[in-house]
C-alpha cells in the first residue's frame, strides 16, 4: 500500500494520540513514587490501549480470510493496521515504563519490536517497490506462474533453434542430382549456424534452465546486448530474426528473475511479521491473565 495523501487523516490522528500519550506518560513518570509500573492505573490504561491496537492490527488477517464481510473497506483496515499497529509500540513502552521486566514481558517486548520494525520495513517496501516493478518489469506475471512461464520460454527457445535448423534438414533431405554440391551446401549452411547452436547450448539454454544462477553473462542486460550483437555478426542475415527472438526471450527471463527478487523483497518480511504477530497476540493474552494473578 502506498502511503500517500490519503493517509493524512490517519497521520494526524496518530500524531495527536502519540502526543497526548507522551504528555500523560511524562507527567505520570515524573510524579510516580516508585517509577512507572504496568500495574498502576495509568500503566494499565496504556497496556489496554496498546493491546487493543495490536488486536485490531491482528484482525486484518481475519478480515483478509473472510473478504465477503461487510466490515469497512479493505483499504481502511490496512490503514488502521499500519497506523494503530505502529502506535501500539509506544503505548506498550509506556505501559512497561521502558523496561523489559521479566522473561515473559521481555519476550513480548522483543516480539513487539520485531513485529513493528518488520511492519515498518514492509510498509516502506510496499510504498516504493510497486513503482519499481511497473517500470522495470513490463513482462510482470503472476508470481506463482513464473516457473510455468519460464518453462514455456525454454520450450519457445528450443523451438526457435529447431526452426532455424529446419531449412538445413530440408536441403539435406531434398533429392538432387549433384550430391557433392548438395553436400557442400549443407555443410556450408551447417557451418553458418554453428555459432548459434554453440551459443544456445553453452550459454542461453543453461541461462534459461538455471534461474538461480546470477553470474551468467546473459543475466546482465548490457553484456547480453554485446553477446547478441557479436552473434548476429557471425550469423547469416537470414538467421538474425531468430537471434532477435532469442534476445527477447532472454530479456523476458531477466525480467522474471527481477520480478522474483522484487517479490521476495516485497513479501519475505511477512515470514517474520505474521508468525511473530500470532505469537505476540497469544503470549500477550497469557501476560494479561497472569498479570491479573500476580
Q: Which is nearer to other proteins, 148 or 202 (CB)?
A: 148
The CB-of-150 to other proteins minimum distance in angstroms stands at 10
Dist. CA 112–CA 117, nearest whole Å: 8
DSSP state of 175: -
Q: Which of 11, 187, 271, 288 binds other proteins (CB under 8 A)?
A: 271
Dist. CA 93–CA 87, nearest whole Å: 10
Site stretch for other proteins (CB under 8 A), options 19-27, 135-143, 174-182, 222-230: 135-143
DSSP state of 215: -
Q: How far apart are the two ends of the chain, measured CA to CA in Å?
A: 42
Site stretch for other proteins (CB under 8 A), options 19-27, 72-80, 142-150, 209-217: 142-150
Write out the H or E segment, with its range, that includes residue 111. Answer: helix 103-136
Q: Which is nearer to other proteins, 156 or 203 (CB)?
A: 156
Report helix, strand or coil for 195: helix
The CB-of-90 to other proteins minimum distance in angstroms stands at 20
When asked if residue 286 is in the footprint of other proteins (CB under 8 A), the reply is: yes
Q: Which is nearer to other proteins, 72 or 138 (CB)?
A: 138
Q: Which of 2, 11, 74, 102 binds other proteins (CB under 8 A)?
A: 102
When asked if residue 6 is in the footprint of other proteins (CB under 8 A), the reply is: no
The CB-of-272 to other proteins minimum distance in angstroms stands at 8
Q: Which of 70, 135, 233, 294 binds other proteins (CB under 8 A)?
A: 294
Instruction: Pull the grid cell for residue 6.
Output: 490519503
Q: 166-184 b/e with 16+ CB inside 10 Å = b? A: eebeebeeeeeeeeeeeee
**According to CB under 8 A, which residues from 104 to 123 bind other proteins?**
104-105
The CB-of-149 to other proteins minimum distance in angstroms stands at 5
Q: Which is nearer to other proteins, 38 or 80 (CB)?
A: 38
When asked if residue 160 is in the footprint of other proteins (CB under 8 A), the reply is: yes
Q: Which of 5, 103, 175, 212 binds other proteins (CB under 8 A)?
A: 103
Among positive and negative, which fits the CA dihedral 157, 161, 166, 169? negative
The CB-of-114 to other proteins minimum distance in angstroms stands at 11
Q: Which is nearer to other proteins, 101 or 195 (CB)?
A: 101
Backbone angles phi, psi at 16, to 5 degrees: -65, -45
Instruction: Pull the grid cell for residue 178.
Output: 549433384
Tell me if 189 sits within 8 A of 168, measured CB to CB. yes
The CB-of-283 to other proteins minimum distance in angstroms stands at 5
Among positive and negative, which fits the CA dihedral 49, 55, 59, 61? positive
Dist. CA 248–CA 244, nearest whole Å: 6
Tell me if 38 sits within 8 A of 44, measured CB to CB. yes
Among positive and negative, which fits the CA dihedral 134, 135, 138, 143? negative
Closest Cα partner for 192 from 166, 165, 157?
Answer: 165
**According to CB under 8 A, which residues from 214 to 243 bind other proteins?**
241
**Contact set with other proteins (CB under 8 A):** 33-35, 37-39, 99, 101-105, 139, 141-145, 148-149, 152, 156, 160, 163, 241, 244-245, 248-249, 264, 267-268, 270-271, 274-276, 278-279, 282-283, 286-287, 290-294
Amino acid at each position: 500500500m502506498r502511503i500517500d495523501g490519503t493517509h493524512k487523516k490517519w497521520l494526524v490522528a496518530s500524531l495527536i494520540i502519540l502526543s497526548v500519550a507522551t504528555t500523560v506518560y511524562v507527567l505520570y513518570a515524573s510524579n510516580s513514587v516508585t517509577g512507572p509500573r504496568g500495574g498502576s492505573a495509568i500503566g494499565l490504561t496504556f497496556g489496554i490501549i496498546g493491546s487493543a491496537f495490536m488486536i485490531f492490527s491482528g484482525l486484518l488477517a481475519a478480515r483478509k480470510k473472510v473478504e465477503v464481510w461487510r466490515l469497512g473497506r479493505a483499504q481502511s483496515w490496512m490503514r488502521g493496521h499500519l497506523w494503530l499497529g505502529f502506535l501500539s509500540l509506544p503505548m506498550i513502552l509506556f505501559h512497561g515504563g521502558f523496561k523489559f521486566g521479566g522473561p515473559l514481558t521481555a519476550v513480548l517486548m522483543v516480539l513487539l519490536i520485531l513485529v513493528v520494525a518488520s511492519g515498518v520495513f514492509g510498509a516502506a517496501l510496499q510504498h516504493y517497490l510497486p513503482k519499481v516493478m511497473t517500470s522495470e518489469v513490463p513482462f510482470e506475471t503472476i508470481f506463482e506462474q513464473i516457473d510455468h512461464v519460464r518453462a514455456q520460454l525454454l520450450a519457445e527457445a528450443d523451438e526457435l533453434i529447431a526452426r532455424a535448423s529446419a531449412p538445413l534438414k530440408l536441403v539435406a533431405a531434398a533429392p538432387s542430382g549433384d550430391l557433392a554440391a548438395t553436400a557442400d551446401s549443407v555443410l556450408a549452411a551447417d557451418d553458418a549456424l554453428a555459432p548459434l547452436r554453440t551459443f544456445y547450448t553453452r550459454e542461453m539454454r543453461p541461462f534459461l534452465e538455471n534461474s538461480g544462477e546470477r553470474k551468467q553473462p546473459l543475466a546482465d542486460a548490457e553484456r547480453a546486448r554485446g553477446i547478441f550483437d557479436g552473434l548476429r555478426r557471425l550469423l547469416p542475415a537470414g538467421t538474425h530474426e531468430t537471434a532477435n527472438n532469442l534476445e527477447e526471450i532472454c530479456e523476458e527471463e531477466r525480467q522474471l528473475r527481477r520480478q522474483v527478487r522484487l517479490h521476495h523483497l516485497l513479501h519475505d518480511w511477512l515470514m517474520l511479521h505474521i508468525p511473530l504477530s500470532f505469537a505476540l497476540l497469544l503470549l500477550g493474552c497469557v501476560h494479561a491473565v497472569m498479570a491479573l494473578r500476580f
